[in-house]
Structure 1
Amino acid sequence: MFKDVEKALFDLRAGKLIIVVDDDDREAEGDLVGLAELASPENVNFMTKHARGLICAPVSEEIANRLELVPMSEENTDAHGTAFTISVDHKETSTGISAFDRAKTIQGLASSTSKASDFHKPGHMFPLVGRFGGVLERRGHTEASLDLARLAGVREATYICEILKDDGTMARKVDLHDFASKWNLTMIEVGDIARYVSFQDSPKVKLPSSYGDFDLQLFEDEEKREHVLLSKGDLTTDEPLLLRLHSECLTGDIFGSLRCDCGEQLHAAMEKIDQVGRGAILYLRQEGRGIGLKNKLKAYQLQEEGLDTYEANLELGFAPDERDYQIAADILSFLDIKQVKLLTNNPDKLEQLEMAGIDIVERLPLQMTAHQENRAYLQTKQEKFHHLLHIV
């Protein structure tokens, strides 16, 4: 995922076009995207000839205000709130419609020295104003392209064009993959950009603890859930990283509940990492195996009535385990961690990380001693969840 975003940024800085695909539940469309300050007649011509959609020029609010790009309509009733402004042509163009003229206008929109008086209105280029919060505020091609410009280190001005099929209908995922392959273009999704942007602002602090000194870094996902990386040592080396994926358990981690082994596992993992001198715990906001604290307590009520932890989830209408570890794989990918030694008894964690491209070179067990209060729980994990345990 993040390698694709970085490849897209590399291509954009080189003046190339890329493809950005939005969410399936939105427009489910793909746009060609380029940086406005590097716009070329060749790229504009490629858009008109092969993409065939409407060429628009997303700009930041600052640029729109400076160039006096007023809204096209006083009342915006567009289904997705696309912020069209009055169309423009640069004054140094002829008719404004040729690929050369449109490239000139696009470049003018990106220029830090341009003034409102440098443009005729209306014209043949359609500026779009992006939201200040980017894709984290609005998941459109406008904001996605401007976030890419910002990440590329250039002015927030781009040019985009929807991709149509030969028959004039919209190109969808399969068609876009074919288009990207045919023209050797990097293709990324708005969701990839959103995750990349959210990870850019990941505060990191020192955390002295009873298990030694750690670094603590926060990663926010697209649903605003705050996942925590607790790490020790240099994570940038190529040596496989000792890693624990730990799902949040308020009752066990904070209150020391004896109904589970979560708190014991968390502390054992911290102690193990401190002993080794290098490793990490990804503390994931997946309370109650992904069903949340309220439903977890409801599951506890059902367990007090005779159901086990597996059956209680089913009774509440959930899968036995609702967790998805893609966020963990994304964080590891963002940190360029490719190989891990995984502290786990859970085969699902092994399978999901491997499917996401993380190389697990070794599994290390993390089994706690069973006692009266959690023996039945651990036996259920062993028998029904197929955890790699040996409960006696």
Structure 2
Amino acid sequence: MFDPIEDSMAALKKGGMVILVDDHTPGHPLGYLYTLSEHIQPEIINYMITQAKGLVCIALTKERAKFLNIPLMVNPYGEPGEKAFTVSVDYTKTSTGISAYERAETIQALLREESSPEDFKRPGHMFPLVAESRGLLDKKGIAEAAVDLAQFCDSSSLSGTFCEVLGKDGSIANMAELKKRAKEEGLKTVSMTQLYNYRKKTESLIERIGQFSFPTRYGMLHAIIYINQLDDSEYLVVVEGSVKGLSPIPLYMYAGNILGDLFVKSEKKGMSNLCRSLEELKKSGHGVLIYRNIRYPGNDSLQIKQTGTTGEIWDEVIIQKILKDIHVADVVVKDSVS
């Protein structure tokens, strides 16, 4: 349905435009004409205005917006899914600021290292949006996608400029219209989901924060603690014996609350299964148990709650990255509660 992400990156690095599709929008996707901000020229702004016909915006990092003292239009800016618009700006050396030439000049000024807060009039005709610090890993929004895509292209500015694509009747262009326009105008298409998955594929996303050994009634166990950078969840990984080079390795997976499972006595199936798995792990002499620690809503600290069926969805990419880190290539998944 969409072009390979590498094709879009190649086009952007050459100064071209792509159609960036927000496929996380409820209802139907939103399409944007997108280019790297460092390539902005009046001709590109004019093309966006006349062909896409939406609102021309620029995505900035939090650090850049703070440096230029461009505050959010509404602070806090509302629901988590809403766009983080700042106050609009014009470069001080522009006249009205509305022409394609002057909007391009404002974008160029926003990117210049020597620019200062005093170089911009407020309000104006360019509309910056601020991206969350970790991009699409923090929030699936157009500003985050724009900055992430710029980063993939090794952009020095870490900024993208974009404009919503409207149909001929002025309504939001649907997917069929976006595909037709891309074909007619020779534009590559890329989706927000592609960008998110590309980050999951190419970045580590896990951080090993500690390891330790501890005594149990089954004997000494050796564990590693990981943080999942997608949602800050914690994983306790118990590794028994030498697993490097062996195939397949027994794998047990559980989701629960570590304090509850350690300190709350329970006859629930989840807890008994966990104990049995630890015992089997020790007896077999080799294997891995991955325990996802759940933080329950309304409390930032760990609550006491027993293991059981949580309804949490295991992220296969994160599990594979953990297994790769401990040099496990192939597993056979054993019975578990998750």
Between the aligned partners of 2:51 and 2:160, the Cα distance in structure 1 is 19
- Which residue of the partner structure matches residue 203 of structure 2? 200
- Which residue of the partner structure matches residue 97 of structure 2? 96
- Which residue of the partner structure matches residue 114 of structure 2? 113
- Residue 59 of structure 1 deviates from its aligned partner by 0.7
Change (3 A) 1:130 1:223: closer
Amino acid at match of 1:201: S
The 8 Å contact of residues 195 and 222 in structure 1, kept in 2 or not, is answered as no
- Residue 145 of structure 1 deviates from its aligned partner by 0.4
TM-score calculated relative to the size of structure 1 = 0.55
- Deviating more after overlay: 134-143 vs 145-154: 145-154
The 8 Å contact of residues 245 and 284 in structure 1, kept in 2 or not, is answered as no
- Quick check: which one's helix share is greater? 1
Structure 2 residue corresponding to 1:169, chosen from 165, 168, 171: 171
Unaligned runs of 5+ in 2: 209-223, 238-242, 255-273, 293-306
- Which residue of the partner structure matches residue 47 of structure 2? 46
Amino acid at match of 1:188: V
Amino acid at match of 2:138: E
Between the aligned partners of 1:325 and 1:202, the Cα distance in structure 2 is 12
Q: Deviations over 1:310-346 (max 9, x none)?
A: xxxxxxxx9xxxx999859x98xxx9xxxxxx9899x
Corresponding residue SS for 1:256? helix
- Which residue of the partner structure matches residue 264 of structure 2? none
Corresponding residue SS for 1:294? coil
The 8 Å contact of residues 89 and 126 in structure 2, kept in 1 or not, is answered as yes
- Quick check: which one's strand share is greater? 2
- Which residue of the partner structure matches residue 7 of structure 1? 7
Between the aligned partners of 1:140 and 1:74, the Cα distance in structure 2 is 17
- Which residue of the partner structure matches residue 33 of structure 2? 32
Change (3 A) 1:115 1:226: same
- Which residue of the partner structure matches residue 256 of structure 1? 280
Name the structure, 1 or 2, with higher relative contact order (CA <8 Å, separation 6+).
Answer: 2
Corresponding residue SS for 2:5? helix
- Residue 195 of structure 1 deviates from its aligned partner by 2.4
**RMSD of aligned alpha carbons:** 4.6
- Residue 132 of structure 1 deviates from its aligned partner by 1.4
Does residue 157 (structure 1) correspond to residue 165 (structure 2)? The answer is no
The 8 Å contact of residues 61 and 132 in structure 1, kept in 2 or not, is answered as yes
Between the aligned partners of 1:75 and 1:117, the Cα distance in structure 2 is 24
1:216-295 matches, cutoff 5 A? 248-249=252-253, 255-256=279-280, 294-295=308-309
Change (3 A) 1:38 1:244: farther
1:277-356 matches, cutoff 5 A? 294-295=308-309
- Which residue of the partner structure matches residue 217 of structure 2? none
- Which residue of the partner structure matches residue 18 of structure 1? 18
Change (3 A) 1:3 1:173: closer
Report sequence identity in percent.
29
Q: Deviations over 1:20-76 (max 9, x none)?
A: 222345373121221111112222112111111100111111111121112224563
Change (3 A) 1:24 1:59: closer
Change (3 A) 1:223 1:122: closer
- Residue 157 of structure 1 deviates from its aligned partner by 2.2
- Which residue of the partner structure matches residue 144 of structure 2? 143
- Residue 204 of structure 1 deviates from its aligned partner by 9.3
Between the aligned partners of 2:204 and 2:2, the Cα distance in structure 1 is 15
Between the aligned partners of 2:127 and 2:249, the Cα distance in structure 1 is 47
The 8 Å contact of residues 206 and 229 in structure 2, kept in 1 or not, is answered as no
- Residue 9 of structure 1 deviates from its aligned partner by 2.4
Between the aligned partners of 2:87 and 2:331, the Cα distance in structure 1 is 58
The 8 Å contact of residues 247 and 285 in structure 1, kept in 2 or not, is answered as no
Unaligned runs of 5+ in 1: 206-215, 234-242, 258-262, 271-282, 287-292, 297-317, 336-341, 346-373, 378-392
The 8 Å contact of residues 195 and 221 in structure 1, kept in 2 or not, is answered as no
Between the aligned partners of 1:50 and 1:295, the Cα distance in structure 2 is 52
Change (3 A) 1:87 1:325: closer
